[in-house]
Structure 1
């Protein structure tokens, strides 16, 4: 089978956009999943900043574009379609050099028939900065797609250090107050030892769990949950968020940072556990 069986394992799945897909991957191997949407992603209340960024793009103002998330590109294209200029925006993107942080923006680019100029060697801000280190951006304007809650001055400063002029946009928002009751229940279940794994696929999920715990007087339960529950992280950014809040990552994919490798990493860990017990 290429990994351990998940039968009888209760796995908390705090995914948002791909919740059912990710949970289904676990269930195929026998897991009982507890679905808990942590962060709901929404369009901007006011699309004007995204529209202004697209105006600059289509006017030829950007020499380069940096995409940090696939969701960001999709939300920009939603605004473009609403304005009746999807084809124009795709053509304008195609005339730029596109740097991407990881596989999700690559997938979003392929959905509109484009590909990246360069993929960061690691799906992190540091990885993007490393990709830019080989580029002379002197006199170039760089459109930078950010994500909510992180103005990422580190990345913007790195663009400036290479001679470029960054123009940032954050084209979506998080509805962080959604599903609070479910998040509270998840924290209590983790603290009580009723969850075998929690599988984080984005750092806002980790922060959301902690924020709900603090707001609802469940700080002790949060700490106990992080002690009592094995934590799976999809990649280094998520792992850093876990460690920052006092957790320990039990398992993470070694190189390919998305959902299927995370499922396989959990299965491999359980297979090693079984082998050790038999030994």
Structure 2
């Protein structure tokens, strides 16, 4: 028997869109009881094959104009840049060029990567925020200065544009660029599962992944439906506010931890998702509706999708009778089919629901009227 108290995500299905560290993220969720569905939304272009990164690096080491300021935005990105440069035979020249500049690091991981390369950062914002880093640069004046900005994934458009508007010559260094997945099948199936009510939360660890999910839904003709589903029903969790930006711009609420870390994302998920559970008393039994399961008196009981759709309809107003025709409509909306779903299908689904709950009396038949949950009616 699963103890839901020790597994806060038991009974929930969580979608993972990450490409990098997806296994680690999924394992953390599974330890908390979640069922994980993986649909990678992006693919990282190998550094050694990235012609844009090579061109930017070559420009920095060969151009006689010196770099005044170098900005390291992420630890993995800065390390990857240095390693790629070493592979191209440009490592020593890159370190020498950066060593003659002021190096700014956005956060502790970027700071660690800078020091690992034998360099020393001049300044790092306590908030780890790009906005504070930008304000520091603009306050010191950037007109006429050459600034190299290491970019990791999502282009820092506002950051770059603000520097250029202030008169800086900005060299963008695109490290770990992302494109769509090589095989879009898993992502398409994840989106369909989200729309079909089979996923309770969707997680994002990068803004490009969020943008890719939206683009894929648009290509499938499901954009509006996905936005509505993510807004109204599915919990969306992002590792940080930058990651969440493509979604929040559409009005989709996104829960983010205070610190942009994978572990913090899972901890936030393990609090926010159970908080959405519906709880009530039926026939003296304590019932909790989780995503794809029900907890009855502390016992976690998985419920198949169609019976769960009926249970949610009955639980929307516990004790109220729902007619068979009304429940036919519930099953049709759930299945997406207008034909082949009739009152016999309702009776079958109710039978499966009672079996799954392990207590047939929780769902009552009201003769000639329909079904209800067996809760006291005032």
TM-score interval (norm. to shorter): 0.7 to 0.9
2:307 maps to which residue? none
1:127 maps to which residue? 132
Does the 8 A contact of 1:187 with 1:221 survive in 2? no
Query: Deviation per CA, 1:60-93, whole angstroms, max 9, x where unpaired?
Result: 8112111334454244224312223434433543
Does the 8 A contact of 1:190 with 1:224 survive in 2? no
2:61 to 50, 55, 73: 55
Distance across 2 between alignment mates of 1:126 and 1:266: 26
Does the 8 A contact of 2:70 with 2:147 survive in 1? yes
Pick which of 15-24 and 159-168 moved more.
159-168
1:243 maps to which residue? 248
Does the 8 A contact of 1:141 with 1:166 survive in 2? yes
Does the 8 A contact of 1:38 with 1:178 survive in 2? no
1:24 to 10, 16, 27: 27
Distance across 2 between alignment mates of 1:270 and 1:176: 29
1:36 aligns with 2:28: no
Q: 1:54–1:78: structure 2 CA closer, same or farther, 3 Å change rule?
A: farther
Question: What secondary structure sits across from 1:170 in the alignment?
Answer: strand
The normalised TM-score by structure 1 is: 0.81
Q: 1:65–1:23: structure 2 CA closer, same or farther, 3 Å change rule?
A: same
Distance across 2 between alignment mates of 1:201 and 1:273: 22
2:185 maps to which residue? 181
Query: Deviation per CA, 1:135-191, whole angstroms, max 9, x where unpaired?
Result: 233553211223556362x32343346554322232443231423111111111111
Distance across 2 between alignment mates of 1:177 and 1:274: 33
2:9 to 6, 9, 13: 6
Which runs of 5 or more structure 2 residues have no equivalent in the other structure? 1-5, 281-285, 287-378
Question: What is the Cα deviation at residue 116 of structure 1?
Answer: 3.7
Distance across 1 between alignment mates of 2:121 and 2:12: 39
Question: What secondary structure sits across from 2:55 in the alignment?
Answer: helix
Describe how 1:83-162 pairs up with structure 2 within 5 A: 83-102=88-107, 105-106=110-111, 108-109=113-114, 111-112=116-117, 114=119, 116-120=121-125, 122=127, 125-137=130-142, 139-147=144-152, 150=155, 152=157, 154-160=158-164
The normalised TM-score by structure 2 is: 0.62
1:225 aligns with 2:225: no
Does the 8 A contact of 1:188 with 1:225 survive in 2? no
Question: What is the Cα deviation at residue 238 of structure 1?
Answer: 2.2
Does the 8 A contact of 2:77 with 2:151 survive in 1? yes
Q: 1:16–1:177: structure 2 CA closer, same or farther, 3 Å change rule?
A: closer
Distance across 2 between alignment mates of 1:132 and 1:236: 22
Distance across 2 between alignment mates of 1:49 and 1:205: 25
Pick which of 116-125 and 79-88 moved more.
116-125
Distance across 2 between alignment mates of 1:252 and 1:46: 32
Does the 8 A contact of 2:61 with 2:97 survive in 1? no
1:268 aligns with 2:243: no
Q: 1:231–1:144: structure 2 CA closer, same or farther, 3 Å change rule?
A: same
Question: What is the Cα deviation at residue 225 of structure 1?
Answer: 3.3
